[in-house]
Amino acid sequence: MDSFYGSFDFCKDKDEKHPSENLGQVLFGERIASSPYKVRTVLIIDNMPVTWCYDVEDGQKYCSPGFPIGCAVTSDGRVKDACIINLCVIYSIKHTADKELKCEGHPMEIPKELSSKLEVMYSYSVSFRENNTIKWASRWDYILESMPHTNIQWFSIMNSLVIVLFLSGMVAMIMLRTLHKDIARYNQMDSSEDAQEEFGWKLVHGDIFRPPKKGMLLSVFLGQGTQIFIMTFITLFLACLGFLSPANRGALMTCAVVLWVLLGTPAGYVSARMYKISFLFIVYRIIFADFFIMNVILWAKGSSAAIPFGTLVAVLAMWFGISVPLTFLGAYFGFKERAIEHPVRTNQIPRQIPTQSFFTKPFPGIIMGGILPFGCIFIQLFFILNSIWSHQMYYMFGFLFLVFIILLITCSEATILLCYFHLCAE
């Protein structure tokens, strides 16, 4: 769990300057504290973080933002109850004749035996090295190169494409099989009575557009799904174009939050078109409740990842002051539109549903409907979570955008298959 720099007994800046962060940095728990190292007022030079680079397996170089201040060790090959404290931090700043480009920190490990009272003296050293081979546009490359190789990312894309091809083949076979049977039956009809007889999926055509029992909940999820889809698509598209680069700290999260707030209008419009607006904010309540509970836990632990009270009030103000009015504005236009006309008339008497098999019951259907989309994104999800927990930079938005498109196709085809199996069972 992340903690504030000031919560430890480390060297502090006498001026106590606190640089301002944007909304995305605060929500991600990225706090900038003023350091006592008089190179710059903070450990961010030309908006680049100080990194600790070291060699790993296969001769690769791993660069992690920040530097270790000490680590607890176990008894494996070391003295029990021992700790290594980095007493000296050596900075190496690579620069050109006119611009500073790169800052690396190398901790010097000096083991000390801990006692009841131990006074630790910290020091730092700075060296400047001129390097004219690094261009300004490529100064982030040494950090981004620590990310997973592209061949693994292409494997993720191929894995997702295999699932899409499998589902597309099943949908195509079902459509061809159904149409082939219908055409064969029409060709075999000899009388008008046979032509009027309904069979197959046509037996339930009068119940397809019957309002569900939880119509309100369905309209809510459709509206919120529209909002999430548009927000995700625009955010990933801007990231692919390079507008949300790591050089612009917190831009990705800020863009997502702002888009989420501004896209209340299409969410309200879709929900109003489908049903009503009364319980549209149920998803907001669930998300905010989870967010608030997690934030209270982080507050209690004194973590730097906790959202300050002022930022929490600002998020609520954005929700009630911008998102809610825009949602009602979209609902207003939605109610003014004509009701959606169904292509067939709904029967007044609902058709009796036969006993369902195990695979068409809700819980197995939910599992089957979620496994296939999850199979398309689990590799990318692994890389994203690994980057967050390992404090790495994730910048492969091109691969992520492709996986997002594949996810949309997979969800659509999985829905078609589940609906077909339910119609066959009925």
Per-residue pLDDT tens over the stretch 332-355: 787 777 766 767 777 777 767 667
Cβ-contact 397, 147 below 8 angstroms: no
Most confident of 171-180, 200-209, 289-298, 357-366: 289-298
For residue 188, is pLDDT > 80? no
How would you classify the pairing of strands 83-95 and 70-72?
antiparallel
Cβ-contact 29, 2 below 8 angstroms: yes
Question: Which residue has 């982080």 as its token pair?
Answer: 298
Cβ-contact 129, 94 below 8 angstroms: yes
What is the arithmetic mean of pLDDT over 305-310? 79
What is the arithmetic mean of pLDDT over 152-159? 75
pLDDT of residue 101: 44
The band of 288, judged by pLDDT with boundaries at 50, 70 and 90, is confident
Cβ-contact 339, 346 below 8 angstroms: no
pLDDT of residue 233: 92
What share of the chain in percent tops pLDDT 70?
52
The band of 110, judged by pLDDT with boundaries at 50, 70 and 90, is very low
Terminal Cα distance for the chain, rounded: 52
- Cα separation, 277 vs 268, in Å, equals 7
The band of 69, judged by pLDDT with boundaries at 50, 70 and 90, is low
The number of beta carbons lying within 10 Å of the beta carbon of residue 209 is 13
pLDDT of residue 198: 55
What share of the chain in percent tops pLDDT 90?
0
DSSP secondary structure, 137-159, as one string? GGTTHHHHTTSPPHHHHHHHHHH
* Residue 240 CA, distance from chain mean position: 15
The band of 411, judged by pLDDT with boundaries at 50, 70 and 90, is confident
* Residue 105 CA, distance from chain mean position: 30
The band of 367, judged by pLDDT with boundaries at 50, 70 and 90, is confident
Among 408, 286, 426, 421, smallest CA distance to 364 is for 421
What are the tokens at 220?
A: 């809510």
| pLDDT tens-digit series, residues 15-53 | 666 666 767 666 666 666 666 655 543 455 566 667 777
Helices (H) and strands (E) in the chain — how many of each?
12, 8
Residue 200 gets the label, from left (phi > 0), alpha (psi -120 to 50) or beta, of left
Angle at 76 between CA 75 and CA 81, to 5 degrees: 15
pTM given for the model:
0.65
| pLDDT tens-digit series, residues 251-270 | 888 888 888 888 888 888 88
3-class DSSP state of 346: coil
- Cα separation, 82 vs 109, in Å, equals 13
Higher pLDDT, 212 or 377: 377
- Cα separation, 201 vs 186, in Å, equals 15
What are residue 127's phi and psi, to 5 degrees? Answer: -130, 140
Q: Which long-range contacts (CB under 8 A, 24 or more apart) does 312-321 make?
A: 314/23, 315/23, 315/257, 318/257, 318/261, 319/261, 319/284, 319/288
pLDDT of residue 283: 67
What are residue 264's phi and psi, to 5 degrees? Answer: -70, -25
For residue 194, is pLDDT > 70? no
Cβ-contact 208, 241 below 8 angstroms: no
Taking each helix axis as running N to C, give the angle between helix 150-188 and helix 397-425, from 0 to 180 degrees, rounded to the nearest 10.
30
* Residues in a beta bridge with 54: 62
pLDDT of residue 234: 92
